[in-house]
């Protein structure tokens, strides 16, 4: 999140008050520091590292002494309580009446432990100071607490830092001990020891303290003691409303990073509680385990959370309530989600020529929610309440419970997810579809030849084509393949099995694309293997001495569409493209990258695809069921916003390998490609989300195309495509009946069968907001917000979006505070338990490259992230926004368990450590400078850190337990991710470390954006504002 955004925006100007912890935003007058916090030239405080640090230190320093100087029993007791809050609330502490039962907060006196904590808090504080020093590279302006009156006091505060400078030297002293404290964190229980008080007193102090100076505009040097004391204390007693996790604002200087809610802890707790267990979907509105947890689903009438996951499992009964809480009602649907081996695959139901049984009125499909009445002769639709006759062949008697006798014999009556065989009525032109085809389109312009891509790819295809996806239980794949190479003209290949050698057909008329051959373009790989191999051998040689550097783009997609049209099938294009298409052809692009637009009103234009050709192309692709997967190998800007438009509207993926070199990036690319080719997929899909009365699906986010407001069209859906659906109320929902969602997807299988996949989910409804908050699913919520924010990027300035996000966060929390939490002091930040870590994700979302306009991040990179996120499922957004940081230096070589993750923050790193960080897209191996030589030796086969080569591209596989273990960890991580991740090895203090640091999401963003702590403080401020 960019602080300047807050500062510069009028609605947030108040924020400054609370933003003591944001060192960036307050240096200048509110209007001025638009670029300020990035440390860019226009900064009034142009990052003289020393000076700034001093300043920061100074500011912190003042308050630091305050809490430490005041050993308050209350504070420490709070600390203790927070141990329980974080560690054990889930374990069923008796619920305080005000809060929901699942929140096991013991309303203890928060003051117990503060005395022992007093000293450490100083340490932590200084620790944080040092933290800020490091992470605050670009942070120019001083955090200047302002008085609430916001007028005069600013001046004195400006002068404050110099005062405090004197005290700076003292900070480093305590720092070293404090550095020690995070270290133990590296161990498996990161929250163990003294750290497990994320909500602890210190945090309290800090936040409150932060508030205090405003309340008491005194010169910090002099005033902190009294002022701060006065502030926090009144707040403390009431600060434990029992059920909810809470945050209060202790003096800013005392922030203890361990004191705020920890994602890793939450994940670990959930894994401990629900991991390894069976999750049976028999209950309405049941909240599934977290995406990170390892559980087994047993379908007992509701779709597995792998297929559908909701933002909340209890919908508010009325739209008023929904509006009040502002918690979005949505579900993330991943219709083809991979099912683990130990779970039952979907049953396929065949109703013969009549096709699936449906409600006559709303056309909902037969599902467990349908009520059979009248002795089984009729059924009432759960979605529209229409009463339908049961077809004769489908009739079955009911038992004494009113359930059909054959309930358990029929998947569509007993399961949440199942498939129907579709009849011809569900097929295009009433003709059974042909099996889909894959066309490989290889850019053979100079760049791709030179980088070695073409050679690598052609070699790989020979083996890859053996592994085309195939129908369950079928010997060989029915998917046909075709090949095209191109630069500014296209070359099609006839690889009919009867030919002795392949035939190349050149189409240079790119203005009106067509496919030059009918027979022999799309072939069965097994039959034409010899010719295809011959071709793949020749392609690299044929273009070996090309000097053509211009390419076309839209025509090749057009060609694919035409090919599928001619073959009357759907399919997928794999396009391996190098550069911005500048050749004279439809869809020609020019460089419109302009970083001057960053952070301006016009920034959105950079993300908007160009209309016209590509827009039409999307439509054509979707109509034909042509999915486009784009593999890009650019060396510079290529207008990804436009080029990625078609892939993202057709259920395809975009991969980007900047400055590709076959030797370096080859493996990564091939891994991606293999996964992409082999992945389970359905084609020519159309999806409809039906809901029971009272609400309906209003908005859809994802890699989809929509011609009207209800039908979601996807040229293809694979196991990773997820779309997010938002629901709105039409009417009042009934607590009794609950809410039903049915998602029906009509598609063509890789074998050429037309099928219907149906997912059903039932949710609770409640008129109590607390119920809603209790059933919230943070990971899904953040997925929802990420997609909606990323979509909004096309139309609104980022500044507004960030504002909205913060507003909404604050609003949700404030509403909770107001309606669900027991009364407490306004100075406390109280988070619903289910949304405890929501702010860290939200903050991380606002710091993602796409959302932060930094000149150091290329436009294409931002666009790429935007496009990728649009199709992401919950699992992926979760890890993207909160990467997994795994310490390796103390790993247990003998155990098969992954070492526990630690919080994504600089201070968790240590000079003598080694860490693995992954966010689902990138995988870093970070090596501390003082990394033990033995570890280096066993992993890299060099004697010590100093001996490591400049460029470390890969991790050798060595025959020793450490190396094996690390490789095992890496492959275990990669296994559960959508993308194959490229391993980047980063040495501490090395230049590439910056890349790595961007992903330490709890810290202040390198390119702008607040630290977790600061954000929390800020949100708190906002909440307070809302509550008053």
Task: List interacting residues with other proteins (CB under 8 A).
Answer: 489, 491-492, 499, 501-509, 512, 514, 516-520, 534-535, 538, 542
* 426, two tokens: 């569900």
Is the separation of the CB atoms in 216 and 230 below 8 Å? Answer: yes
Residue 456 beta carbon to other proteins: minimum distance, rounded to whole angstroms: 20
Q: For residues 145 and 718, what is the distance between their CA atoms, to the nearest angstrom?
A: 51
**In the bound complex, what is the minimum distance in angstroms from residue 546's beta carbon to other proteins?**
11
Considering beta carbons, is residue 491 or 588 the nearer one to other proteins? 491
Nearest to other proteins of 57, 583 (CB atom): 583
As measured in angstroms, the least distance from the Cβ of 583 to other proteins is 11
CB of 556 to other proteins, least distance (A): 15
Return d(Cα 677, Cα 514) in angstroms, integer. Answer: 25
CB of 489 vs other proteins, minimal distance in Å: 7
The DSSP output letter for 436 is P
Minimum Å gap between C-beta 517 and other proteins is 7
Q: How near is the Cβ of 481 to other proteins at its closest, in Å?
A: 17
Q: Based on CB atoms, which residue is closest to other proteins, 362 or 517?
A: 517
C-alpha–C-alpha distance, residues 443 and 454, integer Å? 8
Q: CA–CA separation, 810 vs 839, rounded Å?
A: 9
C-alpha span between 954 and 972 (Å, rounded):
17
892 phi and psi angles, rounded to 5 deg? -90, 105
Round to whole Å and give the CA distance between 118 and 116: 5
In the complex with other proteins, the residue whose CB is nearer, 513 or 916, is 513
Please say which residue, 306 or 491, places its beta carbon nearer to other proteins: 491
| CB-based contacts of 162, cutoff 8 Å, min separation 6 | 58
CA distance between the termini of the chain: 25
Please check whether residue 752 is in contact with residue 684, taking contact to mean a CB–CB distance below 8 angstroms.
Answer: no
Pairing relationship of beta strands 480-486 and 523-524 according to DSSP bridges: antiparallel
**Three-state secondary structure string covering 25-62:** CCCCCCCCCCCHHHCCCCCCCCCCHHHHHHHHHHHHHH
**How many C-beta neighbours within 10 Å does residue 538 have?**
15
CB atoms within 10 A of CB 50: 9
Q: Choose between 5 and 520: whose C-beta lies nearer to other proteins.
A: 520
80 vs 502, beta carbon nearer other proteins: 502
Place of tokens 């059974």: 432
User: Cα 961–962–967 angle (5° rounding)?
Assistant: 100
Burial of 97 (0-12, 13-18, 19+ CB in 10 A): exposed
What is the distance between the alpha carbons of residues 1005 and 262, in angstroms, rounded to a whole number?
18
Q: How far is the CB of 585 from other proteins (least distance, A)?
A: 11
Q: Nearer to other proteins by C-beta: 477 or 494? A: 494
Nearer to other proteins, 54 or 588 (CB): 588
Least distance from C-beta 572 to other proteins, angstroms?
24
In angstroms, give the least distance from the CB of 429 to other proteins: 15
Taking the complex as a whole, the smallest distance from the CB of residue 493 to other proteins amounts, in Å, to: 8
Q: How far is the CB of 487 from other proteins (least distance, A)?
A: 11
Nearer Cβ to other proteins, position 584 or 957? Answer: 584
- Are the C-beta atoms of residues 679 and 577 closer than 8 Å to each other? no
Region of 389 on the Ramachandran plot (φ > 0 left; ψ -120 to 50 alpha; else beta) = beta
**Judged by CB, which is closer to other proteins: 560, or 702?**
560
- The single-letter DSSP state of residue 576 is E
State in angstroms the smallest separation of the CB of 513 from other proteins: 9
| Inter-residue contact 931 to 990 (CB < 8 Å) | no
Nearer to other proteins, 585 or 610 (CB): 585
User: What's the sign of the alpha-carbon dihedral 707, 711, 715, 720?
Assistant: positive
Give the span between the Cα atoms of 340 and 954, in whole angstroms.
Answer: 30
Nearer to other proteins, 567 or 575 (CB): 567
- Adjacent-strand bridge partners of 745: 687, 757
Which of 368, 414, 471, 358 has the alpha carbon at shortest distance from 754?
A: 471
């Amino acid at each position: 999140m960019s602080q300047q955004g807050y500062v510069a925006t009028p609605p947030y100007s108040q924020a400054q008050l609370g933003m003591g912890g944001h060192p960036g935003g307050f240096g200048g007058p509110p209007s001025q520091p638009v670029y300020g916090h990035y440390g860019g030239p226009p900064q009034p405080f142009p990052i003289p590292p020393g000076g700034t640090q001093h300043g920061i230190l100074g500011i912190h320093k003042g308050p630091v002494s305050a809490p430490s100087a005041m050993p308050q029993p209350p504070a420490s007791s709070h600390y203790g309580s927070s141990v329980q809050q974080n560690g054990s609330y889930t374990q069923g502490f008796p619920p305080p009446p005000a809060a929901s039962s699942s929140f096991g907060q013991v309303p203890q006196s928060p003051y117990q432990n503060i005395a022992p904590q007093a000293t450490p808090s100083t340490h932590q504080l200084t620790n944080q100071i040092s933290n800020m020093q490091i992470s605050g590279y670009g942070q120019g302006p001083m955090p200047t607490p302002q008085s609430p009156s916001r007028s005069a006091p600013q001046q004195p505060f400006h002068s404050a830092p110099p005062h405090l400078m004197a005290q700076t030297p003292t900070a480093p002293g305590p720092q070293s001990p404090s550095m020690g404290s995070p270290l133990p964190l590296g161990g498996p229980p990161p929250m163990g020891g003294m750290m497990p008080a994320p909500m602890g007193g210190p945090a309290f102090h800090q936040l409150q303290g932060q508030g205090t100076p405003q309340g008491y505009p005194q010169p910090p040097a002099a005033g902190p003691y009294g002022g701060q004391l006065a502030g926090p204390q009144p707040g403390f007693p009431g600060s434990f409303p029992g059920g909810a996790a809470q945050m209060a604002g202790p003096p800013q200087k005392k922030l203890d990073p361990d004191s705020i809610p920890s994602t890793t802890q939450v994940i670990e707790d959930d894994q401990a509680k629900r991991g390894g267990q069976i999750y049976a979907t028999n209950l309405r509105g049941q909240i599934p385990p977290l995406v990170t947890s390892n559980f087994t689903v047993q379908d007992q009438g509701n779709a597995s959370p792998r297929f559908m996951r909701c933002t909340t499992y209890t919908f508010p009964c009325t739209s008023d309530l929904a509006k009040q809480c502002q918690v979005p009602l949505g579900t993330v649907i991943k219709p083809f989600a991979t099912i683990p081996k130990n779970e039952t695959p979907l049953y396929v139901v065949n109703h013969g020529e009549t096709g699936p049984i449906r409600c006559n009125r709303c056309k909902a499909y037969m599902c467990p929610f349908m009520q059979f009445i009248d002795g089984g002769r009729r059924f009432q639709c759960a979605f529209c309440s229409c009463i339908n006759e049961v077809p004769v062949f489908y009739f079955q008697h009911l038992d004494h419970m009113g359930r059909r006798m054959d309930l358990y014999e029929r998947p569509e009556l007993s399961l949440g997810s199942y498939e129907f065989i579709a009849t011809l009525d569900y097929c295009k032109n009433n003709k059974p579809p042909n099996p889909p085809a894959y066309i490989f389109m290889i850019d053979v312009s100079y760049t791709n030849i030179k980088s070695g891509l073409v050679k690598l790819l052609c070699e790989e295809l020979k083996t890859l084509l053996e592994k085309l996806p195939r129908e369950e239980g079928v010997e060989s794949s029915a998917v046909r393949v075709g090949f095209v190479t191109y630069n500014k003209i296209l070359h099609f290949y006839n690889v009919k099995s009867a030919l002795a050698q392949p035939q190349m057909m050149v189409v240079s008329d790119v203005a009106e694309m067509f496919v030059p051959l009918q027979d022999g373009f799309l072939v069965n790989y097994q039959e034409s293997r010899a010719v295809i191999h011959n071709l793949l051998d020749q392609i690299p040689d044929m273009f070996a001495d090309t000097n053509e550097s211009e390419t076309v783009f839209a025509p090749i997609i057009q060609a694919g569409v035409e090919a599928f049209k001619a073959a009357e099938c759907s399919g997928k294009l794999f396009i391996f493209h190098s550069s911005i298409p500048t050749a004279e052809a439809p869809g020609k692009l020019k460089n419109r990258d302009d970083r001057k637009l960053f952070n301006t009103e016009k920034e959105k234009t950079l993300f908007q695809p160009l209309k016209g050709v590509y827009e039409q192309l999307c439509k054509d692709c979707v109509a034909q069921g042509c999915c486009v997967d784009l593999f890009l190998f650019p060396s510079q800007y290529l207008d990804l916003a436009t080029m990625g438009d078609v892939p993202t509207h057709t259920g395809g993926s975009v991969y980007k390998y900047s400055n590709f070199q076959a030797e370096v990036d080859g493996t990564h690319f091939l891994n991606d490609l293999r996964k992409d080719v082999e992945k389970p997929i359905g084609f020519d899909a159309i999806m409809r989300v039906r809901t029971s009365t009272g609400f309906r699906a209003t908005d859809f986010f994802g890699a989809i195309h929509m011609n009207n407001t209800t039908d979601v069209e996807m040229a293809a859906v694979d196991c990773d495509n997820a779309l997010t659906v938002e629901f709105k109320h039409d009417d009042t929902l009934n607590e009794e009946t609950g809410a039903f969602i049915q998602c029906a997807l009509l598609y063509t299988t890789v074998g050429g069968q037309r099928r219907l996949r149906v997912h059903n989910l039932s949710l609770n409804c409640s008129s109590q907001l607390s119920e809603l908050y209790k059933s919230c699913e943070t990971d899904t919520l953040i997925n929802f917000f990420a997609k909606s924010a990323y979509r909004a990027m096309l139309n609104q300035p980022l500044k507004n979006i960030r504002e909205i996000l913060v507003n909404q966060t604050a609003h949700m929390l404030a509403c909770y505070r107001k309606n669900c939490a027991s009364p407490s002091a306004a100075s406390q930040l109280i988070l619903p338990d289910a949304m405890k870590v929501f702010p860290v994700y939200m903050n991380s979302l606002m710091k993602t490259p796409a959302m932060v306009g930094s000149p150091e991040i290329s436009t294409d990179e931002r666009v790429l992230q935007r496009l990728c996120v649009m199709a992401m499922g919950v699992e992926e957004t979760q890890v993207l926004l909160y990467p997994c940081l795994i310490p390796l230096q103390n790993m247990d070589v003998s155990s098969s368990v992954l070492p526990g993750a630690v919080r994504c923050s600089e201070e968790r790193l240590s000079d003598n450590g080694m860490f693995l960080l992954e966010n689902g897209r990138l995988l870093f191996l970070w090596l501390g400078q003082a990394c033990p030589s033995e570890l280096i030796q066993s992993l890299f086969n060099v004697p010590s850190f100093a001996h490591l080569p400049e460029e470390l591209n890969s991790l050798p596989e060595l025959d020793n337990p450490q190396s094996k273990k690390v490789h095992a960890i890496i492959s275990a991580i990669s296994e559960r991710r959508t993308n194959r991740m490229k391993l980047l090895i980063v040495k501490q203090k090395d230049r590439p470390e910056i890349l790595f640091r961007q992903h330490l999401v709890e810290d202040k963003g390198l390119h702008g954006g607040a630290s977790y702590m600061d954000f929390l403080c800020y949100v708190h401020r906002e909440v307070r504002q809302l509550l008053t």
